[in-house]
Structure 1
Amino acid sequence: MSRDSQTAEIALANTIDKNTMPTGPLFHVTPERNLASILSDGLAPQIGPRSGDLGEPAPRIFFFTTLEAVETALTNWLGEAFEDEPGALVVLSVDPSGLTFYSEADYEVFTHEPILAENITLGLGLDQEVET
């Protein structure tokens, strides 16, 4: 994707107002098999299998803004998307400090910036209770 088309795509999304920028942790769901790599190298924006299926035009990293949103997604559309994935899922907790986020839905935000490993911790595994 060219830089101009990525810039245009970003402009279509709603940049989060500085007054409503996430201040607490954000949550990212991933297969457990990715955990070691993420905790070592961080998260890099990409167009993964689910993003490709949805026709997303630019590499992004998506986050839920609350654990309640994680639970809702996993018991609905995101759980269905991961049905064919082998192994468990994990929820990562991410410190959003210093990053720019965009939102096209109330329950999630995304960034085009890489997330350093030191800003990521294991939130919980899918077999653990999600408290809302």
Structure 2
Amino acid sequence: MLVAGALSIGALGISSQASSADKNGNYTVHALEGANTCAFVLRVTDAENARRDRLADNSPASKYSSDWQIVTAYVGGYLSAFNLLTPITNDIVGSGGLAGAKLWLTNHCRLNPTDSLDAALKEFTFSNFSKRIVSKGN
């Protein structure tokens, strides 16, 4: 996940791909095997859209496929961790919400199908940083 180095740079409004990791620039990504790729996101998104087009029943049990839930959980967890660890950030997704972030992710993955999911999400946090919600009123 993103850590202090990238967050400090982002908080200063400096666009950079720098982030904290080990001395070689590596960090561990925890995801289901094969699920941390843009190719997976595209396959799941296309299948989910086709499934929804065929689906006449909007019952809760048939609302989302398990693969779609995997992508949503991974994206939600990544962005929630970013919110927690980034100073002066309530919500990195801004007014577009999680649906807007997933749409951005899908579009990014169509243009960059060989990217990993974590690289795509890292790019989202950099590109959306100025649109983040910094404070949520009570």
Fold-level similarity (TM above 0.5): no
Structure 1 or 2, whichever has the larger Rg, is 2
TM-score by length of 2: 0.27
Give the strand-richer structure, 1 or 2. 1
**TM-score, normalization by structure 1:** 0.27
Higher helix share: 2
Query: Larger RCO: Structure 1 or Structure 2 (Cα < 8 Å, ≥ 6 residues apart)?
Result: 1
